[in-house]
Amino acid sequence: AKVGGKNHSRFFEKSMSRNLMRRREIEAELRAAIQRDELSIFFQPIIDLATGRIRTFEALVRWFHPEKGELRPDEFIPVAEETGVIVTLGNWITAQAARAAVHWPEDVTLAVNLSPMQIRAPGAALGILTALRDAGLAPSRLELEVTESLFLDDNQSTANFINELSAAGIRFALDDFGTGYSSLGSIHKFPFSKIKVDRSFVSGANVGRKSEAIIRAVAEMGARLDMEIVAEGLETVDQVRAVRATGCTLGQGYYFSRAVPDYLAAMLIAQEREG
Ligand code: C2E
Ligand code: CA
Ligand code: CA
Ligand code: CA
């Protein structure tokens, strides 16, 4: 047992330091990647389920590494958050996305994901307003997606950030709804205009009458509180039908489109507006 335990802990140490090295590596490269132009912003449409029209594009960051290939945000966003690089990266993402969005019709909005750490950084609200002003995008066309983890510790700077930007006309969406701990509390406290129901309620193993009932209840709450509900992760026509039947008004997922580069996003809009 003793030998086994020793081996186990050695193995553990080894994988820990490998993990740490990988993180350090990602951190250093991430700082350089912005300069080297390896990052780009892709856009995934959010669709009005009644009309089929594009209402919003969500900005999703992509990293095309010269050796490692395409890295998923789930791999480098957490590292960026832990190391603080997310503040620089986040401002860059907002600026880039806003520059693309000024070319869209006025009724198409831009959604940008924000990390908690980015929001708590000094000057966070000003950074966003500056990015919008530089790009020439009206604040009313920006929507910021935040997750419930933001509200875990009840932080005054978070409240100030949301209130200041709401007053400027920016809207907020609660992302990954249903996966966190404090959903109802944060809906009660903050002026969300949208709730995005997490993909796990739509696709995956435990879909069925139960998740349909949950989406229906959220859609009803949304209608009463003047919030729109987005179903995330729609991949099949059956899922789209089921979700539409619950009263949910907006949908997003591979069934409609994956995230695409800005020139394709512009083409999707043009196609839709012609037809
Ligand atoms: P999220 O905000 O929940 O974004 C939705 C994720 O689901 C995206 O993954 C999107 O490509 C994926 N997705 C969309 N439709 C479908 C579908 O039908 N099926 C499946 N299986 N997946 C679908 P992505 O781009 O890999 O991003 C992962 C997460 O990384 C995001 O989750 C978000 O939390 C974070 N992230 C991405 N871009 C940014 C960013 O610019 N800033 C920050 N702070 N976080 C970001
Ligand atoms: Ca999101
Ligand atoms: Ca989400
Ligand atoms: Ca997520």
Per residue in 75-117, pLDDT tens? 899 989 988 889 989 999 999 999 999 999 999 999 999 999 8
List phi, psi (to 5°) of 64.
-100, 95
pLDDT tens track for 125-177: 999 999 999 999 999 999 999 998 887 776 788 889 999 999 999 999 999 99
Residues with CB under 6 A from ligand 1: 44, 59-61, 72-74, 77, 90, 93, 113-115, 145, 175-176, 199, 233-235, 252-254, 259
Q: Do 44 and 96 form a contact (C-beta atoms < 8 A)? A: no
In the block, tokens 């047992």 appear at: 1
Mutate to test the pocket of ligand 1, among 30, 60, 237 (most ligand atoms within 8 A of CB): 60
pTM: 0.92
Exposure on the CB side of residue 141, measured as CA atoms within 13 A = 23
pLDDT tens track for 238-267: 999 999 999 999 999 999 999 999 999 999
Q: State how far the Cα of 196 lies from the Cα of 239, in Å rounded to an integer.
A: 16
Q: Which residues of 78-100 are buried (b: 16+ CB within 10 A; e: fewer)?
A: ebbbebebbbbbbbebbbbbbbb
Q: Pairing mode, if any, of strands 69-71 and 54-65?
A: antiparallel
Q: List CB contacts of 169: < 8 A, sequence separation 6 or more.
A: 138, 139, 140
Q: What value does the mean pLDDT take over residues 56-65?
A: 96
